[in-house]
Structure 1
Amino acid sequence: MQRRSFLRNFSLATIVLGAPAISSAAGTNAKQRTVSGKVHSNGKGIAGVAVTDGYTVVATDAQGNYSFEADARAEFVYISTPAGYAFNQQNHIAWFYQSLAADQLAAKADFSLEKLAVDDTRHQFVVWADTQMISQADCDQLKTTAVPDLKALVASYPKDSLFHGIGCGDLVWDKFQFFKDYKEAIAATGVTFFNVIGNHDMDLDARTDDYSSKTFKQQFGPTYYSYNRGQVHYVVLDDVFFVGTAKKYIGYITENQLQWLENDLKMVKPGTTVVLSVHIPTNTGAARRAKKEEEMGGTVTNRKQLYKILAPYKVHIMSGHTHFNEAWEEGNIMEHNHGTVCGAWWTGPICGDGTPMGYGVYEVNGSDIEWYYKATGKEKEHQLRVYEKGRLKEAPTEIVANVWNWDTKWKVEWWEDGVAKGTMEQRVARDPWAIELYAGPSLPSKHPFVEPTLADHLFFAKPSAGAKQIIVKATDRFGKQYSETINLA
């Protein structure tokens, strides 16, 4: 995401009027297109694999064969890789699709899969949000910071641990020549990545949203799809709706995708854990914190319709876009809006809310998921930062703790000179270091538009006048405890 003036009063009706014109391509005068093939491993067919053209979803038969009439608009035929099989990849970019030529009336597409040598019930994945390079210098930073950090993280797990990655959109910053560098970075990690389209990955000269993903599709394939690992079903959607004017968009999921998702989930048992990745978060607390109207480019406007489709499942939503870190949950859904790999657009070591540049790490065991935030260049245990009295000018007599991966099931406590003082007070505020780095029209010099942002994950306490040492302990929802100590004397 780049900070800009969004379309506050833009009428959704004026946007969706464009949809029927596209739909008419599949009308009664369209020639029938058929696609068929086999999904197999070493020649042996795999039954029950979901195959789709982005509209219809079918399952392979007992011999691994499939055949269906493809939609006239279909650009790809692709599979939802089943659990127990390795992800096909090209230089560690996930490859699960084959292209369909527009004039191809009878297409054949076979998919060969390799059986995993280890049980995938336990596995890990990482979420890289907003790598967002606009210069070669940015690309170099990605390769020299995030890449070795991820490699070291993977190496810290037992041998043969299964890892995959999710590139959660804004892979570049409108400079498509840097897709090459993004791919080089991914290849260097050794981790296979599935990728999400972001608002800075779109063709800005497209006349409608329908054509805004042309370059992305050439690089990474379909913009919405699914795959499976262990007991988890993973889904990727495109929730960036381009409105036909450069750099103008809303958060919106098209009817085509919602219909496809309904069809895709028909093959998924209710109660299954579903991990859904999008670029624009479906919802955040930004408008509440700022006490203003929600921006249409900041969240998904038709999210409630999405939530209805997801109602039978245990859902974790992965998102980026905002350059801050936040988690919320309600009912069967928890959303993880990630701090960014690029921090504040490669201008400093932290995001606007004080979250370190970094990424989310998720550990899956069966249908359960645990997670933490990995700050680039820091140990896994680096989960909070404590500021001394006076660092935040608005609270001159208080210490401030930033616990960036906090959610409502965390506990944040403090000790003064060895004496337990209880829980700290949570407030909406700006991170002191972010203010120092980014506040004002001239900071940071590289991108002056960057500003510190309000966050829910700041905690306050007022030490005694003679206090010498403060310890802050943060306990996450899984019982893991992290602490930071500052000396005041």
Structure 2
Amino acid sequence: MKRTLTITALLLAAIGCRPVPDATLEGRVTLDGRPVAGVLVSDGTQIVETNKNGKYFMISDKADSVVFITTPSGSVAVSEDGLRPGFWAALTEAPDKVERHDFKLVSENQERYNVLFFPDIHLSNDPRRNDIRRFQEKVAPYIREKASDMEGPVYLMNLGDLTHELYWYEFDFNESDAYNMLAELELPLKMYSVTGNHDHDGAIVGEDVDFRSAWIYRKVWGPDRYSVNIGNDHWVFLDNIIYVNEEGKGKKAPGIRGDRSYLESFTPKQLAWLEKDLSYVPDSCNVYICTHCPFFHGSNISEGRATLPDEQLTFIDSLCTRFEHKVLNFAGHIHKFDFFSKKEYPSFFQYGLPCASGVMWETPEEYSLYCSDGSEAGLMNGTCVAGIPMELSFETYDHGKRNYSIYDMNSVGKAYKNSAEVKIQRKKAPERADYSNRKFRNSIFVNWWTWYPGCTIEMFENGKALQVNAARHEDPVNNFTYDLPQLAHPVKHHAVRNNVSCIHMFEAKASKTDSPGEVIFKNEKGEELYRETIARPLPFIF
């Protein structure tokens, strides 16, 4: 008997296995057809490594119904559809049944690579907004052109709300339909995703609704937490939406049974996995965490506030202190720019990104797409080179690189005075800004979309410095391209909402109506970023 056991052990060693009597998950990872050791494999709770023959074994309860790998640097998981890297597999057997899932990697030169951030595209197949056609005519060609022009591999980082669950059943278009449309476009890139609040099934209510309502998302895009190594960088994708969807309440729509409510938070299980995942990452790595909801709500006149629970942010900050570079959080959800950090959490910085669909395609088609902070819609681009922090730039779909808007409030005031829609809005919501008021005469507003704490603006009139103040005014372009058109169908959205102030607005007062001006934008080091000379009166156009 002893001899038999010894022979068995030798045979197992010879084929690179180790006895795991109760393993319920196993498989093999190959790179360019050869087994690769040290690849991390997870079921969302545990993390194990492949052995020298590329094999892994895991005793899993399969609670998250997926198994996935952390793709090693210099490789990418083989994609069967050209869009989704095959780094994950759905678990279909009972917890006590053994499943085998193999993963295939191919080598990829990642010394230089690029990312396009893709937040809140809100595809719904709505005939009123024509979102599918507008996406195919405006956004898809932009993505294709950018990806084709970039040097090195390109990844599309979907930050959630690819679809809009309110309309899944009304317009027969859900997460699976959005995937099929994207796959048919054959874009020259790979796509990674996180879950947004609108990516859950609003028809699902009751016990364990957060997990059950994400069934289509999981089927199409995979796990709600995972990581990928690209070049010298470690990318983490985390779902920070806990879907509540209380039954019988909220906005009613065909097929929707609940109020579609949610919490902005991580689960303890996600944070435990994150701690394990980051423990494998070298201190020198750049770490990027993609979520749907941002960590903070920023401000240019206060210290802002945390969006997530303080104890969760404190925990994440403690995990990130050892990294040589500040950890970056990329998020969507808020439909506006919100670049921010808080001194209580010094280890990471937030890039809150605006809606890639403007405000859910509500901007009338005669205008460019605009977001809720008045910024023009587009995508944030990131270029990553080995050993160098990511270089970020924002480009609009229609006008290329733009980072700000400048308003001569004399011209804006005339537009407000002559607008019948503004008069209606003022009657329904007198608290809204009235830019025809004389107190705004000769004011110059600058909406610096990509502002972040430490950056400054200088304004001059005929070479004379003006006093610049941070302000919380609403953006006039947002009012004319979103709020005022909503007056035609107020049932669909808030036409008279009062919380529309912009967190990156600055103002100065000129002495004359026709004096030329100059605006200089500087970063936190006092270095000049942009400079623009304006001839006044400056027309109010959009």
Q: TM-score range, shorter-chain basis?
A: 0.7 to 0.9
**Offset at 1:255?**
1.1
Choose which of 441, 459, 468 in structure 1 pairs with 2:515: 468
Aligned counterparts of 1:364 and 1:141: Cα–Cα separation in 2: 30
Give the equivalent residue in structure 1 for 2:145. 152
**Which of 183, 201, 207 is residue 199 of structure 2 equivalent to?**
201
Q: Residue type of the partner of 2:229?
A: N
Pick one of 134, 140, 143 that aligns with 2:133. Answer: 140
Aligned to 2:314: 304
Which residue identity is paired with 1:375? T
Q: How much does 1:228 deviate? A: 0.8
Conserved 8 A contact 1:277-1:319: yes
Report which stretch shifted further, 387-396 or 426-435. Answer: 387-396
Letter in 1 for 2:445: V
Distance 1:372 1:188 in 2: 25
Q: 1:240 to 1:144 in 2, by over 3 A?
A: same
Q: How does 1:45-444 map to 2 (within 5 A)?
A: 45-89=35-79, 90-103=81-94, 105-116=97-108, 118=109, 120-136=110-126, 137-158=130-151, 161-174=152-165, 175-176=167-168, 177-179=173-175, 180-185=177-182, 187-204=185-202, 205-207=204-206, 208=208, 209-245=210-246, 246=258, 247-285=260-298, 299=308, 302-313=312-323, 314-330=326-342, 331-348=346-363, 349-365=369-385, 366-380=387-401, 382-390=402-410, 391=412, 393=435, 395-417=440-462, 419=463, 421=465, 424-439=468-483, 442-443=486-487
Q: Secondary structure at the match of 1:263?
A: helix
- CA displacement 1:331-362 (0-9 Å, x = unmatched): 12011111011111211221111121122212
Paired residue secondary structure (1:155): helix
Q: Is the 8 A contact 2:336 2:353 kept in 1?
A: yes
User: Conserved in 2, the CA contact under 8 Å of 1:289 and 1:454?
Assistant: no
Q: C-alpha deviations, 1:118-170, integer Å up to 9, x for none?
A: 3x132221211100123342122122111111222233434xx2211111011
In the alignment, the residues of structure 1 paired with residue 444 and residue 44 of structure 2 have an alpha-carbon distance, to the nearest angstrom, of: 52
1:69-126 alpha-carbon deviations (Å, 9 max, x no partner)? 122414111111111013433231233111222326222221111111x3x1322212
Of stretches 265-274 and 224-233 in structure 1, the one that deviates more from structure 2 is: 265-274
CA 1:225/1:416 → structure 2, altered by over 3 Å: closer, same or farther? Answer: same
Q: What amino acid is the match of 1:231?
A: N
For residues 86 and 112 of structure 2, what CA distance do their matches in structure 1 show?
Answer: 22
> Offset at 1:482?
3.0
Corresponding letter in the other structure for 2:102: D
Output the CA distance in 1 between the equivalents of 2:34 and 2:409.
Answer: 67
Structure 1: 5+ residue runs without aligned partners?
Answer: 1-30
Q: Cα RMSD (Å) of the superposition? A: 2.8
Correspondence for 2:250: none
Q: Mark the CA change 1:147 to 1:483 in structure 2 (over 3 Å): closer, same or farther.
A: farther
Residue type of the alignment partner of 2:446: A
CA contact (8 A) 2:156 2:191 kept: yes
Q: Give the residue type in structure 2 aligned to 1:75.
A: S
8 Å Cα contact 2:317/2:347 also seen in 1: no
Q: Report if aligned partners of 1:290, 1:454 keep a CA contact under 8 Å in 2.
A: no
CA distance in 2 between counterparts of 1:237 and 1:153 reads 26
Cα 1:143–1:484, aligned 2, differ >3 Å: closer, same or farther? farther
> SS at 1:113's partner residue?
strand
Q: Which fold has the larger relative contact order, with Cα–Cα distance below 8 Å and residues 6 or more apart in sequence?
A: 1
Whether the aligned pair in 1 keeps the contact of 2:335 and 2:371 (CA below 8 Å) is yes
Counterpart AA for 2:91: L
**Count, aligned residues:** 449
Unmatched segments (≥5 aa) in structure 2: 1-20, 247-257, 364-368, 414-434, 538-542
| 2:400 partner SS | coil
Preserved CA contact (<8 Å) 1:171 1:182: no
- Give the residue type in structure 2 aligned to 1:86: V
SS at match of 1:86: strand
Q: Deviations over 1:441-463 (max 9, x none)?
A: 94374843265722221121222
For 2:395 and 2:42, locate their aligned partners in 1 and report how far apart those are by CA, in whole Å: 35
In structure 2, the CA distance between the partners of 1:70 and 1:51, relative to structure 1 (3 Å rule), is same
Distance in 1 separating the partners of 2:406 and 2:513:
18
Partner of 1:4: none
Distance 1:140 1:33 in 2: 49
**Partner SS, residue 304 of structure 1:** helix
Greater Cα offset, 272-281 or 446-455: 446-455
Query: Is the Cα contact below 8 Å between 2:460 and 2:518 reproduced in 1?
Result: yes
Equivalent pair of 1:355/1:404 in contact (CA under 8 Å): yes
TM-score, normalising length from structure 1?
A: 0.84
Give the TM-score normalised by structure 2.
Answer: 0.76
**Once the 2 structures are TM-superposed, how far is the Cα of residue 476 of structure 1 from its aligned partner?**
4.7
Counterpart residue type for residue 130 of structure 1: D
